[in-house]
Amino acid sequence: MPPYLNCAIIFISITHLILQKRVIPMTEFYDEKILIEKAKSGDEASFEALIQSCKTKAYNTALRYLRNEEDAMDALQESLIKVFRHLNKFKGDCKFDTWVYRIVVNTCNDFIRRNKNQNSNASLYHTDESGVTVIDIPDPAPAPSEILDSKTTVSYILDCLNQITSEHKEIIILRDIQGFSYEEISVILNCSMGTVKSRINRARQKLKQKVLEQYEELYVQ
């Protein structure tokens, strides 16, 4: 089969997987290791079951990195194609979904680097089918009279998050917004648990400092 045709088939399959609403019960595949081995041997149903369990969190992670629904969907699609192509490289030294999230984070960072000179568009967040709360992000720099509104306050803090370094922003997104464990983050970022904890502490301090600075700019005239 010509390489371009094979790529097209992979692209169509991944797109269908992202868009479909059907959830494959994991009870049908009680062992992740069995699923992985079947997927490696070309079993599409096993690959679907693996991806179904983590695609929503993967998408929300991309959405919070990129703050644009279309870009997040593109990043998710690109990530899942990478997962599909490199499945045989998965060694099982971490959970499969953690490995997927690492690929998503790396893909988002690549996307940001490729588009660093382009302005991020505002994006509407929503509550997805899994009940994960995704937040509305309006234009930045809310007026002082709006700052007490809870949704605007969250948006204000997220805008401050976008003004700290990418390393600090990344760790806040993974730990405080997406709720990954220290162990998962250490795998996703390929660093030690001690490094993760120290980065989180520094990042929280930087975000707190930025929030206070922005607050003073709005209120201290």
pLDDT of residue 149: 52
- CATH 1.10.10.10 occupies which residues in the chain? 138-221
In terms of Cα–Cα distance, which of 160, 59, 74 is closest to 115?
A: 74
Domain 138-221 class in CATH = mainly alpha
Nearest of 51, 42, 60, 58 to residue 20 by alpha carbon: 51
Stretch 177-194: mean pLDDT: 93
Residue 46 in contact with residue 38, Cβ under 8 Å? yes
144 vs 60, which has greater pLDDT?
60
Helix axis angle for 32-40 and 44-52, nearest 10°, is 130
Q: Which residue has the higher pLDDT, 130 or 204?
A: 204
Task: Specify the fold of 1-124.
Answer: Rna Polymerase Sigma Factor; Chain: A (1.10.1740)
Q: What is the mean pLDDT of residues 183-192?
A: 94
Q: What is the pLDDT of residue 141?
A: 45
* Whether residue 17 has pLDDT greater than 70: no
Comparing CA positions, the residue from 19, 86, 8 lying closest to residue 48 is 19
User: Does position 3 have pLDDT exceeding 60, yes or no?
Assistant: no
Average pLDDT of span 117-137: 45
pLDDT at 178 over 50: yes
Confidence of residue 148 (pLDDT cuts 50, 70, 90): very low
Label residue 203 by pLDDT band (50, 70, 90): very high
Q: What share of the chain has pLDDT > 90, as a percent? A: 43
> Which part of the chain has CATH 1.10.1740.10?
1-124
Question: Does position 199 have pLDDT exceeding 70, yes or no?
Answer: yes
Give the residue-averaged pLDDT of 10-19: 52
Cβ atoms of residues 173 and 188 within 8 Å = no
